Amino acid sequence: MKKYVVATLLLGAVLLVPSCSPVEKAPHRPPNIIFIMSDDHAYQAISAYDNRLIETPNIDRIARMGMLFTNASVTNSICAPSRATILTGKHSHINGKVDNHFPFDTTNVTFPQLLQEAGYQTAMFGKLHFGNSPKGFDQFKILPGQGAYYNPEFITKDEGTIQVRGYVTDIVTDMTLDWLETQRDTTKPYLLMYLHKAPHRSWQMAGRHLEEFTNRTFPEPETLFDGYEGRPAAAEAEMSILKHMSWSGDSKVYQEVMEALGLQEIGIDRRRLPFGTNQLDSAQLATFKKYYGPVNEAFRKAYPQMDQQELMKWRYQRYMQDYLGTIRAVDENVGRLLDYLEANDMMDNTIIVYTSDQGFYLGEHGWFDKRFVYDESFKTPLLVAWPGKVAAGTRSDEMVQNLDFAQTFLDAAGVEQPGDMQGESLLPILTGRMEDWDREAVYYHYYEYPAEHMVNRHYAIVTKDYKLIHYYFDLDYWELIDRKKDPKELHNVYDDPAYTEVRDRLHGELEAIREKYGDSDSLSRRYINTFLDDIEKDGIFGVNQEKLGEILKKRAGDN
Ligand code: SGN
Ligand code: CA
């Protein structure tokens, strides 16, 4: 009997041998891919990076299972262009989606289409923001445009436009879990894109988090009172927490309180009065009022004594409370998904990515929003788990980008990467083959100007040590940032003689990287003209009319 057991064990061992044998490789099993992306989620608000603002235990689980990237960035820090780069593996100037203004060109080839052709089952739930429906998906339910936090509508593949009651972060997760539970074709590997609207402006948290978050106080960033010396584009931008946030939609100040205090609504937000509540039903609104009522009362009393600095501090706290409150629900829901995968033994051979479409300013430089190549919006969170393939609890400070996702997934799936994609597969980093990775610099190009927040057009080369930035329309000047000596990015050393050599070297590298990726001044000029032609005809939302007039007049002078 004993002999029989031993023989059986030996036979079992022999049968298992092929996967360990040096000659015969195990057959490739294409992994499942779960791509989780939130909208405007700053890495400063993920505790795996930094726990001063909020604990995100569930998102952190992905880093504990796999790798945390500390130097991941985007090629163009704004929503739809980032998503287009992710799907196409190409820079904005090549895929054509340079800004949020025009719809995505659906003749682009995207990695989900290629995975679908290769036999993957594909699904997308949540925010896309393309102005059209995604190609290459067997199933999708997406928010129209920015989508709503409460009782949102969805454009669906099979049911037309539907409205679902509830809170968007919970609903997108319900849809995702429902798909995993009831629609999976278990004979195929799958690509699941689970895309949150939160924490996008204007921040509306779930009712269950109002009590905690409207009562919390958060530490201030060191650069809350940046004066923008030497950085004219920063000085011109309209994204100051003090000056450009709206009283109603952003800070949740009631109209009657604004009137009592003589406050004029700020910027473009007039359309959203009163206080961003148009999508809430009466019960949801009552919960909002229960918590924002006392906030308003306290503000009504305190405001007359506040100086500008105190007001900035108050507005920063209000901002953090609401922004971070929306992240609590994202974290809880990521936890629901991970729990589901664990409970159903679905972690094996599955890549799980958590990222954001870009970073965000949480008071650094006195700002909210993004767009600049400065770290808080240039960098983006990136956590990747792949149990069995990526070592648990690892970190990488390599300069990876959203440009690399498409090729990474194709590589992992064993699908050929089209020669015109511009990123690189991250598998060498993820699986510890660093001899196959040698990137030293990345390229950045932001376009959307003139537009809301008025961030000048700029392109840049970024290395681990420096950023060389050219602001070219309508300002025209250079910035050089020494990332090691000046991590808060407060000093433009472009004209400092101590940096002449660095500056000249970086100019050469910038020209080379622009050539490598096929970007040029003539292409930039073409994008400016298409944009200005369009807004000259139809106007543009959110732009100071006087400034717009000046830009268009200057342009007329150019021609
Ligand atoms: C909206 C926001 C802006 C934000 C853009 C782009 N204004 O227009 O603050 O920069 O979206 O964001 S709001 O008054 O409508 O909230 S993106 O993530 O879609 O690129
Ligand atoms: Ca975004």
Secondary structure of 352-378 as H, E, C letters: EEEEECCCCCCCHHHECCCCCCCHHHH
β-strand pairing of 121-127 with 139-143: parallel
Question: Cα(196) to centroid of ligand 1, in Å?
Answer: 15
Instruction: For residue 379, give the DSSP letter.
Output: B
- Does ligand 1 have an atom closer than 6 angstroms to the CB of 489? no
d(CA 376, CA 122): 32
d(CA 59, CA 336): 11
CA atoms in the 13 A half-sphere facing the CB of 357: 31
Cα Rg of the chain (Å, integer): 25
SS3 401: strand
Structure tokens at 77: 């820090």
Asked if residues 403 and 417 have their Cβ atoms less than 8 Å apart, the reply is no
β-bridge partners, 458: 446, 471
Cα-flanking dihedrals φ and ψ of residue 232, to 5°?
Answer: -55, -30
Instruction: For residue 163, give the DSSP letter.
Output: E
Within the chain, all domains assigned CATH 3.40.720.10 are found at: 38-203+325-433
> What is the pLDDT tens value at each position of the chain, 559 positions in all?
333 333 444 444 444 444 444 445 667 899 999 999 999 999 999 999 999 999 999 999 999 999 999 999 999 999 999 999 999 999 999 999 999 999 999 999 999 999 999 999 999 999 998 989 999 999 999 999 989 999 999 999 999 999 999 999 999 999 999 999 999 999 999 999 999 999 999 899 999 999 999 999 999 999 999 999 999 999 999 999 999 999 988 999 998 999 999 999 887 645 554 555 668 999 999 999 999 999 999 999 999 999 999 999 999 999 999 999 999 999 999 999 999 999 999 999 999 999 999 999 999 999 999 999 999 999 999 999 999 999 999 999 999 999 999 999 999 999 999 999 999 999 999 999 999 999 999 999 999 999 999 999 999 999 999 999 999 999 999 999 999 999 999 999 999 999 999 999 999 999 999 999 999 999 999 999 999 999 999 888 888 888 889 998 888 766 4
User: How far, CA to CA in Å, does 512 sit from each of 318, 460, 520, 522?
Assistant: 45, 12, 11, 16
d(CA 467, CA 209): 39
d(CA 246, CA 275): 9
- Does ligand 1 have an atom closer than 6 angstroms to the CB of 453? yes
Question: Cα(375) to centroid of ligand 2, in Å?
Answer: 15
C-alpha 429: how far from its chain's center?
Answer: 21
Those residues with Cβ within 8 angstroms of residue 519's Cβ, 6 or more apart along the chain or in another chain: 91, 93, 443, 445, 459
Fold exhibited by the domain 38-203+325-433:
Alkaline Phosphatase, subunit A (3.40.720)
The per-residue pLDDT for 275 is 59
The per-residue pLDDT for 2 is 39
DSSP for 458-496 reads EEEEEESSEEEEEEEESS-EEEEEETTT-TT-----TT-
Q: Whose CA is nearest to atom 20 of ligand 1?
A: 79
**Residue of 76, 83, 146, 266 best suited for mutating to test ligand 1, as the one with most atoms within 8 Å of CB:** 146
Largest CA distance in the chain: 97
d(CA 233, CA 255): 33
| E-strand stretches of 172-303 | 190-195
Q: Which of 196, 202, 380 is nearest to 279 (CA)?
A: 202
DSSP for 267-292 reads GGGGGGTTTT-TT--HHHHHHHHHHH
d(CA 253, CA 311): 13
What ligand 1 atom has the least distance to the C-alpha of 78? 20
The per-residue pLDDT for 278 is 67
Within the chain, all domains assigned CATH 3.30.1120.10 are found at: 445-558
C-alpha 267: how far from its chain's center?
Answer: 24
The per-residue pLDDT for 21 is 43
Asked if residues 93 and 84 have their Cβ atoms less than 8 Å apart, the reply is no
d(CA 211, CA 291): 7
Question: Cα(149) to centroid of ligand 2, in Å?
Answer: 15
CATH for the 445-558 domain, from 3.20.20.330, 3.20.20.80, 3.30.1120.10, 3.40.50.920: 3.30.1120.10
DSSP for 495-546 reads T-GGGHHHHHHHHHHHHHHHHHHT--HHHHHHHHHHHHHHHHHH--TT--HH
Asked if residues 474 and 447 have their Cβ atoms less than 8 Å apart, the reply is no
- Does ligand 1 have an atom closer than 6 angstroms to the CB of 200? yes
d(CA 174, CA 142): 13
The per-residue pLDDT for 16 is 43
Structure tokens at 519: 């970007």
What is the helix, strand, coil percentage profile of the chain, to 5? 40, 15, 45
SS3 445: strand
What ligand 1 atom has the least distance to the C-alpha of 79? 20
307, 309, 314, 320: CA torsion to nearest 10? 170
CA atoms in the 13 A half-sphere facing the CB of 277: 19
The per-residue pLDDT for 1 is 36
Question: Cα(201) to centroid of ligand 1, in Å?
Answer: 6
d(CA 231, CA 489): 10
Structure tokens at 540: 């543009």
**Residue of 100, 278, 358 best suited for mutating to test ligand 1, as the one with most atoms within 8 Å of CB:** 100
Instruction: For residue 181, give the DSSP letter.
Output: H
- Does ligand 1 have an atom closer than 6 angstroms to the CB of 201? yes
Burial 330-356 (b: 16+ CB within 10 A, else e): bbbbbbebbeebeeeeebeebbbbbbb
